[in-house]
Chain A
Amino acid sequence: MENYSNPRKFAFKIIELLKTTDIKQIKLVGSLSENNFDEYSDIDIELNDNKQSPVENINIALNSISKKYDILFSDWAKSLLPDKYVLSVFLKQKNIFRFIDLTCFKDANFSDTTRDQLPQDKIYHIFKLWICNAKQEIRNRHDRNFIDLLFVKLFINNDSISNKTKFEKVLDWLHTNSDNNYLLKECDRIMDKINDNIPITLAK
């Protein structure tokens, strides 16, 4: 398992790798490009090439990443369709928060890809949403924490329970429904830190 201590350095490694494809434009965006990242930041990469459809561009990029890095799972952000195509790619690495978001915008030259055409697994989608929200909980960015929305995907809404309990309940659901011990262990580790109110120390 590789260890990527410097997120910007790692992001540029990914960019270099993607430049070996024939995708015309590959751009680092988001916090890493704006230099306001932290240890929980993901890597946002924008792809642009009108030779092929947005989904094809993203698949080419995914393909390229798989040559050098080990993919844990990937998940489409279907709610952003059809204007924006985003695939989150989680790699087998010590910092689970440092996943790659591959983004490509709608291209009028190609017909839209519908939600049904993109594969998605409910359990892994919940994993992604849990990790994304956990990151905001750790950062104390409650304005960006949508654990309520995730919670009601699985349980009946209950305003009287705390965010922490909601995180726990969703994680319990994942334990019941998934046998991916690697991911569950990572999430347990994050949950412990949320419970302890201690900022998580990530592997360097």
Chain B
Amino acid sequence: MFNQYDKKYATKKFYWGKEPTSLCYKTLEMFPPVKPIKLLDVGCGEGRNAVFFARNGYDVTAFDLASAGVEKTKQLAEEAGVSVNAFVADMNEYRLTENFDIIFSTGTLHYIPEEIRKELFQNYKEHTNENGLHVFSVFVKKPFIEPAPDSESTAKKWISGELMNYYHDWKIEHSIEEIFDCMSGGIPHKHVSNRIIARKFSGEL
């Protein structure tokens, strides 16, 4: 399997860097590692977030479509002296058969075609343990934001509120929509992202 990111990840340099995204720290606050919490990183890229979680006591499984990214995830984990169960998979085809406490994904879910989103999120929700979290960041389209110069035809941005809709029956712990500057492709541009942390919750408040 080869995709555009295999090329981006083929160099020694880490395309996204080695530092975790801010959402990782937010996750740590929401679900501190009181045990090896089972966490799945969907579309792990080169593993910066997966390795952060593994470093900090989580039991991490991660997958990505780009085999070069998965290799770099394993490499980064080895450098950090931790273990990440990383493998190549296409999130549009791969379905969960085991449960996790946290399902985490950032900057990837816009590759899910609109027509399978409902079914895919249902699978993720069903395979989340009680009190578990979904921590997602998606790109959102806005009429007043120009498409990025390096925007990909395979990407299907989300619309505001769409992600939240899938969690009407969960507890929303955190949700924010933000416009941020980006330099990918070397040309300054803007993106809008919606970040959400939702908890599977059936107990009493």
B26 to chain A, nearest CB (A): 8
B32 contacts the other chain (CB 8 A): yes
Which of B28, B36, B52 is in CB contact (< 8 Å) with A180? B36
B14 to chain A, nearest CB (A): 17
Is B29's CB under 8 angstroms from A74's CB?
A: no
Q: Give the residues from 48 to 72 in chain A that come closer than 8 angstroms, CB to CB, to chain B.
A: 56, 59-60, 62-63, 66-67, 70-72
User: How far is it, in angstroms, between the C-alpha of A169 and the C-alpha of B34 when the chains are bound?
Assistant: 23
B36 to chain A, nearest CB (A): 7
The contact string, 1 if C-beta is below 8 Å from chain B, for chain A 64-101, is 00110011111110000000000100001000000000
Is A63's CB under 8 angstroms from B28's CB?
A: yes
- Which chain B residues border A71 with CB–CB below 8 Å? 33, 55-57
B31 contacts the other chain (CB 8 A): yes
A17 contacts the other chain (CB 8 A): no
**Closest A residue by C-beta to B58:** A71
- Which chain B residues border A202 with CB–CB below 8 Å? none
Q: Kindly specify which of A29-37, A117-125, A152-160 makes contact with the partner chain.
A: A117-125
A161 contacts the other chain (CB 8 A): no
A169 to chain B, nearest CB (A): 22
User: How far is it, in angstroms, between the C-alpha of A59 and the C-alpha of B25 when the chains are bound?
Assistant: 9
User: How far is it, in angstroms, between the C-alpha of A182 and the C-alpha of B82 when the chains are bound?
Assistant: 12
A interface, how many residues as a size bin?
A: 20 to 34
Is A70's CB under 8 angstroms from B55's CB?
A: yes
Given A70-B82, A71-B55, the answer on whether A62 and B29 have CB atoms closer than 8 Å is yes
Is B25's CB under 8 angstroms from A63's CB?
A: yes
Q: Which of A1, A66, A71, A124 is most buried by chain B, counting CB atoms within 10 A of its CB?
A: A66
User: How far is it, in angstroms, between the C-alpha of A196 and the C-alpha of B194 when the chains are bound?
Assistant: 58
Is A123's CB under 8 angstroms from B57's CB?
A: no
Which of A1, A59, A123 is in CB contact (< 8 Å) with B32? A59
The contact string, 1 if C-beta is below 8 Å from chain A, for chain B 56-75, is 11000000000000000000
- Which chain A residues border B31 with CB–CB below 8 Å? 119
Given A119-B34, A121-B35, A124-B34, the answer on whether A70 and B56 have CB atoms closer than 8 Å is yes
**Closest A residue by C-beta to B131:** A119
- Which chain B residues border A124 with CB–CB below 8 Å? 34-35
B81 contacts the other chain (CB 8 A): yes
User: How far is it, in angstroms, between the C-alpha of A87 and the C-alpha of B36 when the chains are bound?
Assistant: 16
- Which chain B residues border A75 with CB–CB below 8 Å? 34
Q: Give the residues from 104 to 125 in chain A that come closer than 8 angstroms, CB to CB, to chain B.
A: 119-121, 123-124
- Which chain B residues border A56 with CB–CB below 8 Å? 29
User: How far is it, in angstroms, between the C-alpha of A90 and the C-alpha of B35 when the chains are bound?
Assistant: 11
A86 to chain B, nearest CB (A): 13
Is A59's CB under 8 angstroms from B57's CB?
A: no
Interface of A with B (CB < 8 Å)? 1, 56, 59-60, 62-63, 66-67, 70-76, 87, 92, 119-121, 123-124, 180
Q: List 27 A-B contacts (CB under 8 A).
A: A1-B81, A59-B32, A62-B29, A63-B28, A63-B29, A66-B28, A66-B55, A67-B25, A70-B55, A70-B80, A70-B81, A70-B82, A71-B55, A73-B35, A73-B36, A74-B34, A87-B32, A119-B31, A119-B34, A119-B131, A120-B34, A121-B34, A121-B35, A123-B35, A124-B34, A124-B35, A180-B36
